[in-house]
Amino acid sequence: MKYPGYERPRSDDVLYEDSFTHVEKALDCTICEQSDLKKHVIRVPRLSFQPVVHRGLILSGNGIINNARDREKLQHGHDNAICFETVAAGVTDEIPCLVVRGICDYADTHKQESWQRFAAAAAAAYCKTVLLKIDAQEARGANELGFSLGEAYDRMRAIGDTIQRQEWIDLNRLPMAEDAAFDSYADQHETFCLPGTCISLLQRIEDWVYDESGRCIFYLNGMAGTGKSTISRTVAKHFREKQMLGASFSFKRNAGDRGHARRLFSTIARQLITHLPQLSPIIKKAVRENPDISTKSLREQFGRLLFSPLIELGRTGKDTETIVIVIDALDECESDKDVRLIVHLLSQLRDSGVVHLRIFLSSRPELPIRQSFSHLVANKYRDFALQEVLSPTIEHDISLLLKHKIAEIRNDNPLPSNWPSEQDFQKLVTLCVPSFAFAAAFCNTLEEPRWDPEDVLGELLQSPRLKLDQIYFPILNRMLHGQTKSQQERLLREFKEVVGPILILQRALSVKSLSILTGHSEKLIKRRLGSLHSIIKVPDDDTLPVEPLHWSLRTFLHSPDTREMTPFWIDEKETHSELTAQCQKLMEYTFKHDNNPPASAKPQDDSDLGNGAYNNITPELQYACQYCVHHLLDSADPVIKLDNFVSFLQEHFFHWVQVLNVISDRSTITDMINRLQSIKHVGSQSCPYM
């Protein structure tokens, strides 16, 4: 070599499999070679040390590619690309040039910097040879060609912008369920598995994902409070960090579109397009051919938005990368029939031609879900029951959780460093096992700022058989402590008037919206909820929704058994009756006073109903219009309530329908009217619009 330092390195070159990542941030792979997990790619040795010239497409960008999965993703659609360069990013768009690169890196996590100088020298030598063969006149002509290509590029970019706008319109026809993704704003404060917990299970899930011959579905089931949702969020977060998460959807009862399956497949499809751009034109074509696809049956949505696009993608002849779809709390879906159908449809994805699709499902072991899986062929899914986890493992993980939370409580309060005692801590762990939800609720109680954590812990530990619902007794009874009889009666009445609606709302509302809907002042609502933060989520922001921390609170306060044990029992049907009247009252007042004025004149035909779309429909009015019928049907006296509602419809039917037409689809309106007509004696009511 003419220039010292640029000669071919003497070190042997090693290529590792993509799944084996660099062990430590070091200059070379010495430590990698010492690892028992290393996986070499065996190649045929070359007999010559002379550089080899490769000709083909060179991709260019402004970021360094140091991950094999990123490399494969960038290569999609560019199968003839031979390398990726990062130095001349953007230059080749403006200046016609021939790119010559010395390839010295595999674009993975392993580095071999000793090849860089040799690669640079080889590229420079090749460039010199090429330049000696090019005539100067030919180079001048290339400049003119460059300007022409630049103009053509501008025109193509304009066309691309137009296409992109059209694609944006197409995607808007695919509605997404708000806050359904695991990393949504609404769930940003939800917890993940602490380091050192669920180690065996998480490794089992990881092995399942990477097993190319593995089953398509992993079904995680467990009793309430065993940590299913926490594990699901952890799985989603883990594979998002590995850029393998295709989509996530978390069902949640009484949380709008998260409470049903109507938006499940459209939400997953929208997320998959982001992760797999090559799916985009296929799904957009399906939407253009079926613009109302989101209103179709689940089977139709699944076929056109997921199954068929994935089959078409599989026909490209190249397997897609491994992608993971996480669906949490399937038991929270309101329709048992939909749950059965979802399991059946998802099991078909194994036959879609996309061999690396992995679907992670979690739910309680409810009968409809158990029946659904019992009808599947065993090789289509893999299941794991959390109740089968050995008690020592559960106790270990709950102990770590409690230690972590108690350390935070000690830091926030003037407590001794040895609080709680080892004896009390072990008793606490024993009481919590096997419920992570109970452990979390216990810690929420200790964090209540209005009370001394030491006193609260002593009070809770006095119960020798503490169960999940029993944690509510000391919290509720504390509200009545030290109050006169008249004060207790007032507290109980206001508790039921404030908490009752929160338990049965079909979509959680903020303190502000609750105040307007129920007629209670925001001040009163905040005061009554002030001592309930350990069991009811009350955000500091008054515009964010208020909701129970755990579903068991609803079950507990509505249970007939609770009626015999505590005055805090709430009559569920009576609450529905009161909420029906409150919804109707709000709609009547709003429509009569034009606070959110729909068109005052009756529309001439159906086409006029959507022309009055307005932006000032408040959340509480939206809720009243959308769910008043639901509360009426579940009330203690639906027939009597219907008489009042028919009178309301005779005056405000078109106002009501116009609001519904803006906030929902027409099938929802038709469904409401059909449900009203199902009540006995409805046919005799004099409402021409029903």
Residue with the larger pLDDT of the pair 173 and 455: 455
Instruction: Give residue 102's pLDDT.
Output: 74
CATH 1.10.10 intervals, the chain: 470-570
**Overall residue count recorded for the chain in this entry:** 690
| pLDDT value at residue 607 | 43
The residue whose two tokens read 């590619």 is: 65
Could you give the residue ranges of the DSSP H alpha helices within 212-263?
A: 228-241
Q: 671: Cβ–Cβ under 8 A, 6 or more apart, which residues?
A: none
Among the ranges 31-35, 112-116, 443-447, 633-637, which has the highest mean pLDDT value?
Answer: 633-637
* Residue type at position 57: L
CA distance 67 to 138: 40
Provide the token pair at 102. Answer: 């010395």
Residue 406's Cβ-count burial label (10 Å; 0-12, 13-18, 19+) is buried
The end-to-end CA distance of the chain, in Å, is: 92
**Reported confidence tier of residue 619, pLDDT bands at 50, 70, 90:** very high
Cα→Cα distances 291→169, 173, 283, Å: 11, 7, 11
Give me the mean pLDDT over the 271-275 stretch: 89
pLDDT band, very low/low/confident/very high, at 322 (cuts 50, 70, 90):
confident
* Interval 2-17 mean pLDDT: 72
Going from the C-alpha of 298 to that of each of 170, 246, 629, 666, the distances in angstroms are: 20, 20, 24, 17
Phi–psi pair at 40, nearest 5 degrees: -90, 150
Give the pLDDT band (50/70/90) at residue 155.
low
Mean pLDDT of the chain: 81
pLDDT score for 340: 93
What percent of the chain is modeled with pLDDT above 90? 30
For residue 281, pLDDT beyond 70: yes
Strand order in the sheet with 357-363: 245-250, 323-328, 357-363, 217-221, 381-385
Residues near 457 by Cβ (< 8 Å), separated by ≥ 6? 420, 424, 428, 446
Model pLDDT for residues 518-565, shown as the tens digit of each residue? 999 999 999 899 878 767 888 878 889 998 877 778 888 998 888 888
Dihedral sign (CA 441, 369, 212, 83): negative
What dotted CATH number matches 470-570? 1.10.10
pLDDT confidence of residue 595: 55
User: Long-range contacts for 598-605 (Cβ within 8 Å, ≥24 apart)?
Assistant: 598/654, 598/655, 598/658, 598/659, 599/654, 599/658, 602/654, 603/654, 603/658
All residues at 6 or more sequence positions from 474 whose CB lies less than 8 Å from its CB, including other chains: 445, 456, 459, 460
- Asked if the 185-388 domain carries CATH number 1.10.150.120, the reply is no
Report pLDDT for 239: 94
Q: pLDDT tens, 364-389?
A: 887 788 888 988 887 788 999 887 78
Structure token pair of residue 344: 């059946």
Using a CB cutoff of 8 Å and minimum separation of 24, what contacts does 110-116 make? 110/14, 110/16, 110/22, 110/29, 110/32, 111/22, 111/27, 111/28, 111/29, 112/11, 112/13, 112/14, 112/28, 112/29, 113/27, 113/28, 114/9, 114/11, 115/9, 115/13
CA angle 10–11–16, rounded 5-degree value: 150
What is the sign of the dihedral through the CA atoms of 675, 679, 684 and 685? negative
Please report which confidence band the pLDDT of residue 149 belongs to, taking 50, 70 and 90 as the band edges: low
Domain(s) labelled CATH 3.40.50.300 in the chain stretch across: 185-388
Joined tokens for residue 276: 């797999």
The answer to whether 645 and 628 have CB atoms below 8 angstroms apart is yes
